[in-house]
Amino acid sequence: NRLARGDADLQPRVARLQDLSKLRMRRIALTLDLARAGRIGEAVAAMRSGEGKRLMDAMRVETGAIDEVLATRLSFRTRQSEWGSTVTLIVNAIGGALILVLAGMTAWLVRRYVKDLQTAREGIAAANAGLEAKVRERTGDLTRANEEIQRFAYIVSHDLRAPLVNVMGYTSELELAGQTVERAISEAEKSRPVDQEVVVAVREDMPEAIGFIRASTEKMDRLINAILKLSREGRRSLLPEVIEMTPLVQAIADSVNHQTSEAGAVINVENLPRLDSDRLSIEQIFGNLIDNAVKYLDRSRPGQITVSGEATAGGWVVYRIADNGRGISPKDHERIFELFRRSGRQDRPGEGLGLAFVRNSVRRLGGSIDIESELDKGSTFILKFPKRLVLHDIGDAV
């Protein structure tokens, strides 16, 4: 009864079967009671009445109906299970087929991708090989052109020096001759008046003209020396070595101590990272920049020059030379690195070659130079060098 509870098909039949069973048990109990009471005839009559058989037949009918319901359900569930198994098998088969198809497509796509990647790699390798060949060719051309330019600059400077020396020599002769004429005029003035135009020409015009000639020739001599210096520096072989930068820069700062003391300025050299590079080039670069920082200090305030540095990612070292001097207008930030170019008031000696020389030297060492500056706020020169200088077969940094 517990199993059939809530079952619309089984519960009524189970209840009917229970009722029939109770009636049958009462009928048997009645027959036994009659027999125990000695009423054998009545007991036999009760057994022969057919009521018991009728109850048993009714119970068999109900039991058969229950069996039929259960058999029908079992058959349905069996068919349902078989259908589920069939569907599962079909789904598994389809899934397996899809997996095989996807695996095949994936393998094909991966193979195609690998093939395309290999083709691209081969193309890149071929392009790199061609590019490297072109770079070597262009580098060779540039090297030869640079050597020709340096040779031309050296020859021109050398050829210019010869007539310049003559001009300077004759200027000295003219100066001596002027002094001789001036003495002669002084002697002549003792005995008689001398034409005033002659006196002015000898004592004023000639010395002034000779002074202009001497100033121009001296400037030209400095320019020629600077060009020769650039030419010689361009031909000099670089010699990499490990450089302790702090003592090197401190020595440069100490060398201009007289100028900084006169200007009331202080140079602060912080702890600098070491560098593997060409010592002479590094000394010239920092020497030029520190000289410039001292030269162009703002006299209206105490000068402050700071040299700092740090090692950065990728094998680079960055140094900064900062001052609180005059500053440089943003429009001149590139111009100051050009030959014979200067910025701001021209009240300091110079030919405009120092920063051009510095940039050329920095580039030879595989580095770069930048500037951050504003007028009346000072300047910061930023130098970036490879931590370790690796030379190309042509002698410059790779």
Q: How does pLDDT run across 295-316, given as a tens digit for each residue?
A: 888 888 888 999 999 999 889 9
On average, the pLDDT of the chain sits at 81
Confidence grade of residue 398 (pLDDT, cut at 50, 70, 90) = low
Predicted confidence at residue 235, as pLDDT, reads 61
Statement to judge: residues 149 and 220 lie in one domain? yes
The domain boundary, picked from 217, 235, 253, lies at 235
Cα 21–chain centre separation: 95
User: What integer pLDDT is reported at residue 174 of this predicted model?
Assistant: 80
Q: Is residue 3 part of a domain?
A: no
How do residues 255-300 score in pLDDT, each as one tens digit? 888 888 888 889 999 999 999 999 989 999 999 999 988 888 888 8
| pLDDT at residue 250 in the model | 93
Give the helix/strand (H/E) hosting 311.
strand 304-312
Q: What does the DSSP 8-state code read for residue 202?
A: I
The SS3 of residue 374 is: strand
Q: How far is CA 247 from CA 149, 250, 272, 349, 367, in A?
A: 36, 5, 9, 29, 21
Residue 1, in any domain of the structure? no
- The answer on pLDDT for 6 being more than 60 is no
Q: What is the DSSP letter of 335?
A: G
Q: Is residue 33 domain-resident?
A: yes
**112 and 60 in a common domain:** no
Give the highest mean pLDDT range of 107-111, 290-294, 383-387: 383-387
Of the pLDDT bands very low, low, confident and very high (cuts 50, 70, 90), residue 65 is confident
pLDDT at residue 121 above 80?
Answer: yes
Contact assessment for residue 230 and residue 152, using Cβ atoms and an 8 Å cutoff: no
Q: How many domains does the chain have?
A: 3
Q: Check whether residue 372 and residue 248 sit in a common domain.
A: yes
In this structure, what token pair is assigned to residue 33? 């009671």
Among residues 210, 235, 260, the one where a domain terminates is 235
User: What pLDDT digit, counting tens, does each position of 319-350 carry?
Assistant: 999 999 888 888 888 888 876 666 656 656 55
Do 144 and 227 belong to one domain? yes
Question: Domain check: are 337 and 376 in the same one?
Answer: yes
Q: What share of the chain is helix, strand, coil (3-state, %, to 5)?
A: 70, 10, 20
d(CA 189, CA 187): 5
Domain boundary among 69, 93, 117: 93
CA dihedral in degrees (342, 344, 349, 350; nearest 10)?
-10
Same domain, 265 and 139: no
Residues 47 and 120 reside in one and the same domain: no
Rounded CA-CA distance 187/54 in Å is: 183
Whether 246 and 377 share a structural domain: yes
Residue 125 in 3-state DSSP? Answer: helix
In our burial notation (b when 16+ CB lie closer than 10 A, e otherwise), range 5-36 reads eeeeebeebbebbeebeebbeebeeebeebee
- pLDDT of 396 reads 58
User: Does a structural domain hold residue 282?
Assistant: yes
Q: Model confidence at 1, in pLDDT bands (50, 70, 90)?
A: low
Question: Which of 111-115, 159-163, 181-185, 200-204 holds the top average pLDDT?
Answer: 111-115
Tokens of 386: 């490879």
For residue 61, what are the domain limits? 10-93
% of the chain with per-residue pLDDT over 70: 83
Any domain includes 394: no
Q: Report pLDDT digits (tens) over 191-232.
A: 777 777 777 777 788 888 888 887 777 777 777 776 776 666
246 and 366 belong to one structural domain: yes
For residue 89, CA distances in Å to 84, 93, 103 come to: 8, 6, 20
**Residue 395 domain flag:** no
- Judge if 89 and 104 occupy the same domain: no
Other residues' Cβ atoms within 10 Å of the Cβ of residue 97 = 10
Whether residue 373 sits in one domain with residue 272:
yes
Tell me, yes or no, whether 87 lies in a domain: yes
Q: What is the mean pLDDT of residues 168-188?
A: 80
Same domain, 65 and 163: no
Q: Are 343 and 328 in contact (CB under 8 A)?
A: yes
**Residue 4, domain member (yes or no):** no
Q: Which two tokens stand for residue 137?
A: 């060719």
